[in-house]
């Protein structure tokens, strides 16, 4: 009997992200040996940018699901590689509801309270090795109601590591870059560790976190007189992050088994 295919649904497939996705693939294949593995890109904008550069990009999720149907596949797991259950994840849920084969959508990184605790565990070595420093995690931000994940993450991290942990975003909600920097200054921190809370350190890292523009997070912190240490990789390569996604794949496979 053939094993259920697993479709890894990533936001995009830029050069910076390939290292992380290759790492994810090795981990997933280790946990789910024998399951056919496919990759798709959920952002049409990213696919257009990559094609314009003359590079190969991940196909759209709809295309791969249609191909699996044509091959006679009866069920599939589509694993979201988003951080939040926001618009990209919602589109995958809609895809699953329309598909003509049984489809289970694996949850994004931050979905259940257990996920938040697991992410805190993954961040622990980085945070605990920098006693006395403020730790600033900056994610993307979203206009979707899932923006509340960012203050929730800050709450979970502060329970474990104290009030020296701050969470911000580069755009949309919850916003408040000026307020977050002001809080760090008010806390009299001499040093801050700037962590991209992104799976990959791509465009947003180089432009919005450490860019030379006046509105980048590093520029704001520099003007405040705080010494900035920059973590130059996204969280996708942190030990344990890929395993959180594997747990979501396992749960999706269990859902399919229960529905048979």
pLDDT score recorded for residue 170:
95
Mean of pLDDT over the chain: 93
φ/ψ (deg, to 5) at 231: -85, 120
Q: How far is CA 209 from CA 112, 133, 169, 223, in A?
A: 27, 18, 9, 14
**49 exposure class (CB count in 10 Å sphere: 0-12, 13-18, 19+):** middle
Contact (CB, 8 A) for 211 and 219: yes
Contact (CB, 8 A) for 41 and 12: yes
Quote the radius of gyration of the chain (alpha carbons, Å). 19
d(CA 210, CA 218): 5
Out of 3.40.50.10090, 3.40.1670.10, 3.30.1780.10, 3.40.50.1400, the CATH code matching 113-236 is 3.40.50.1400
Residue closest to 238 by CA, chosen among 140, 156, 122, 108: 122
| Residue-level length of the chain | 260
pLDDT score recorded for residue 11:
83
Largest CA distance in the chain: 63
Taking only the tens place, the pLDDT of each residue in 172-207 is: 999 889 999 999 999 999 999 999 999 998 888 889
Taking only the tens place, the pLDDT of each residue in 75-90 is: 999 999 999 999 999 9
List the beta bridge partners of residue 191.
227
Contact (CB, 8 A) for 7 and 36: no
pLDDT score recorded for residue 259:
84
Out of 3.40.50.1400, 3.20.20.330, 3.40.50.450, 2.40.50.140, the CATH code matching 6-109+238-259 is 3.40.50.1400
d(CA 109, CA 24): 13
Could you tell me the residue ranges of all domains in the chain? 6-109+238-259, 113-236
The count of other CB atoms within 10 Å of the CB of residue 207 is 14
Work out the average pLDDT over 32-57.
79
User: pTM for the full model?
Assistant: 0.94
3-state secondary structure of 251: helix
Residue closest to 229 by CA, chosen among 193, 175, 197: 193
For residue 1, pLDDT over 60 is answered with no
Which tokens sit at 5? 């295919």
3-state secondary structure of 137: strand
DSSP letter (8 states) at residue 99: -
Q: Do domains 6-109+238-259 and 113-236 have the same CATH topology?
A: yes
């Amino acid at each position: 009997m053939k094993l259920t295919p697993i479709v890894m649904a990533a936001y995009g497939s830029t050069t910076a992200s390939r290292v992380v996705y290759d790492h994810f693939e090795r981990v997933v294949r280790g946990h789910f040996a024998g399951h056919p593995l496919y990759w798709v890109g959920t952002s049409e904008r990213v696919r257009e940018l990559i094609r314009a550069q003359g590079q190969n990009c991940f196909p759209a999720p709809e295309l791969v699901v249609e191909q699996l149907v044509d091959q006679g596949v009866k069920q599939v797991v589509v694993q979201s590689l988003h951080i939040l259950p926001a618009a990209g994840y919602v589109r995958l849920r809609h895809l699953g509801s329309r598909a003509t084969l049984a489809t289970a959508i694996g949850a994004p990184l931050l979905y259940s309270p257990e996920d938040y605790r697991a992410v805190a565990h993954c961040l622990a070595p980085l945070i605990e090795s920098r006693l006395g420093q403020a730790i600033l995690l900056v994610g993307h931000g979203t206009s979707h109601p899932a923006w509340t994940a960012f203050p929730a993450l800050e709450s979970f991290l502060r329970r474990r590591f104290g009030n020296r942990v701050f969470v911000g975003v580069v755009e949309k909600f919850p916003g408040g870059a000026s307020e977050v920097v002001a809080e760090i200054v008010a806390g009299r921190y001499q040093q801050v560790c700037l962590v991209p809370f992104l799976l990959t350190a791509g465009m947003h890292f180089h432009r919005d976190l450490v860019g030379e523009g006046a509105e980048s997070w590093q520029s704001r912190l520099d003007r405040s007189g705080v010494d900035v240490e920059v973590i130059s990789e996204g969280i996708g390569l942190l030990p344990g992050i890929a395993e959180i996604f594997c747990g979501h794949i396992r749960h999706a496979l269990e859902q399919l088994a229960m529905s048979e």
